[in-house]
């Protein structure tokens, strides 16, 4: 896997950018200070990214974050971290399909309503096929998703700015400090899936070098495009963020119905691309933890993925809401051993400790905040 494909995979994993700008972001940041909050969020998330890059100097394997923990504090902690991460993403795969089918697509194409049960079955089957083709072929497809969503994102931002104007004041402080903090931190947490490329470290062309360059390049590029997309929202009325897919409303107002459909389908593709990235990463983690062949572990994930989505047909709304909290709790709990153990790795390798300790403290605070939000959802209000 060459560096450019690793960058594309990172772009898909970081949100993806179109979903962050047109789906999740508008309801997370405070629109008048959107530019400032996105910049601060990217800077805040720089702490875990720096920790991952530091680990990647020493470790690049299918074990991803679990391999980082093993290198720092041993196999037992790595097993615990890997188990938590597996639970989180195994839950995430099926309930995100449900989210696309029952929430995103109907907001874009209302006529899809009667066909949602069929889509709930067919979409995971289609996404699961990506695990059984050559990795390079799957990554080429994801690269198309990456480039396509960035192109739609640029058009979305340009159309919105042409309609609403540009708001340079979006980089100013127009909200109370506590709102600035919550908007920044909450948006920063949306970057968390940018760790997914680490699980392809064993298949990177130049190992650690490709991982580090691809992860950093992909994250910086994604954050830049997301900033552009959120700037388009700065002059918008808050009422435009009220829809299931806010970007569809803004696109409708900018260039009309056809463009709204393009943006909405692009958002769905952006979320679906992230599902594929998670699926590929999960299959590789199970391969590293179990010692079984990659075909076997991919098959385990594929079967579980499809069967879980079949179960969701009983009550799709409850399926989504019931799985969301345990998935998020397991996600943030799985992140804490990774960032917390980073200074131990530095100490074992006889490296200076000041930088790793500061980065680990900052990253641990962010992951701890994510865990707190997952456990106390009222904080979101």
Averaged over 336-363, what is the pLDDT?
94
| Mean of the per-residue pLDDT values of the chain | 94
Residue 237 confidence class, pLDDT cut points 50, 70, 90:
confident
What secondary structure letter does DSSP report for 293?
Answer: -
d(CA 245, CA 240): 10
Q: Which pairs from 143-148 meet CB under 8 Å and 24+ separation?
A: 143/4, 143/5, 143/8, 143/9, 145/12, 145/16, 145/269, 145/270, 145/272, 145/273, 146/8, 146/9, 146/11, 146/12, 146/16, 146/273, 147/8, 148/266, 148/269
> Over the stretch 66-75, which tens digit does the pLDDT of each residue have?
999 999 999 9
CATH of the domain at 284: 1.20.1740.10
Structure confidence at residue 380 (pLDDT): 43
Q: What range defines the domain where residue 272 resides?
A: 3-380
DSSP string, 70-92: HHHH-HHHHHHHHHHHHHHHHHH
pLDDT above 70 (res 276): yes
Reduce the DSSP state of residue 204 to 3 states and report it: coil
Largest CA distance in the chain: 62
Residue 324 confidence class, pLDDT cut points 50, 70, 90:
very high
Q: How far is CA 118 from CA 97, 98, 300, 312, in A?
A: 12, 11, 22, 12
Structure confidence at residue 129 (pLDDT): 95
Query: Are 201 and 55 contacting, i.e. CB atoms less than 8 angstroms apart?
Result: no
The answer to which of 25-39, 152-166, 344-358, 366-380 has the lowest mean pLDDT is 366-380
Reduce the DSSP state of residue 313 to 3 states and report it: coil
pLDDT above 80 (res 23): yes
Radius of gyration of the chain (CA): 20
pLDDT above 80 (res 207): yes
d(CA 329, CA 334): 9
Residue 174 confidence class, pLDDT cut points 50, 70, 90:
confident
Tally of domains in the chain: 1
146: nearest Cα among 300, 253, 272, 52: 272
Structure confidence at residue 180 (pLDDT): 94
Q: What percent of the chain has pLDDT over 70?
A: 99
Structure confidence at residue 377 (pLDDT): 65
């Amino acid at each position: 896997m060459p560096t450019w494909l690793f960058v594309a995979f990172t772009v898909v994993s970081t949100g993806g950018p179109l979903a962050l700008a047109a789906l999740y972001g508008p309801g997370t940041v405070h629109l008048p200070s959107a530019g400032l909050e996105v910049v601060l969020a990217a800077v805040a998330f720089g702490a875990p990214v720096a920790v991952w890059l530091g680990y990647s100097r020493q470790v690049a394997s299918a074990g991803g974050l679990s391999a980082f923990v093993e290198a720092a504090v041993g196999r037992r902690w790595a097993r615990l971290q890997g188990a938590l991460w597996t639970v989180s993403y195994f839950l995430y795969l099926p309930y995100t399909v449900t989210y696309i089918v029952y929430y995103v697509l109907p907001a874009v194409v209302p006529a899809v309503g009667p066909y949602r049960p069929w889509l709930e079955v067919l979409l995971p089957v289609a996404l699961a096929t990506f695990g059984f083709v050559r990795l390079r072929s799957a990554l080429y497809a994801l690269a198309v998703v990456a480039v396509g969503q960035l192109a739609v994102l640029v058009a979305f931002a340009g159309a919105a700015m042409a309609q609403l104007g540009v708001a340079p004041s979006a980089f100013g402080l127009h909200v109370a400090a506590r709102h600035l903090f919550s908007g920044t931190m909450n948006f920063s947490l949306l970057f968390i899936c940018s760790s997914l490329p680490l699980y392809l470290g064993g298949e990177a062309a130049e190992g650690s070098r490709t991982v580090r360059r691809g992860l950093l390049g992909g994250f910086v590029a994604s954050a830049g495009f997301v900033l552009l997309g959120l700037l388009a929202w700065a002059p918008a009325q808050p009422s435009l963020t009220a829809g299931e897919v806010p970007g569809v409303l803004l696109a409708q107002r900018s260039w009309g119905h056809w463009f709204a459909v393009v943006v909405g389908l692009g958002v769905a593709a952006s979320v679906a691309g992230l599902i594929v990235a998670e699926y590929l990463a999960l299959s590789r983690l199970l391969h590293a933890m179990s010692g079984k062949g990659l075909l076997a572990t991919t098959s385990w994930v594929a079967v579980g993925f499809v069967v879980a989505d079949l179960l969701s047909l009983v009550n799709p709304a409850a399926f989504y809401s019931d799985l969301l909290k345990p998935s998020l709790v397991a996600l943030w709990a799985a992140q804490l051993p990774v960032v917390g153990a980073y200074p131990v790795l530095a100490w074992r390798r006889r490296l200076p400790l000041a930088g790793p300790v500061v980065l680990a403290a900052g990253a641990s605070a962010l992951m701890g905040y994510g865990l707190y939000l997952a456990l106390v959802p009222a904080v979101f209000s």
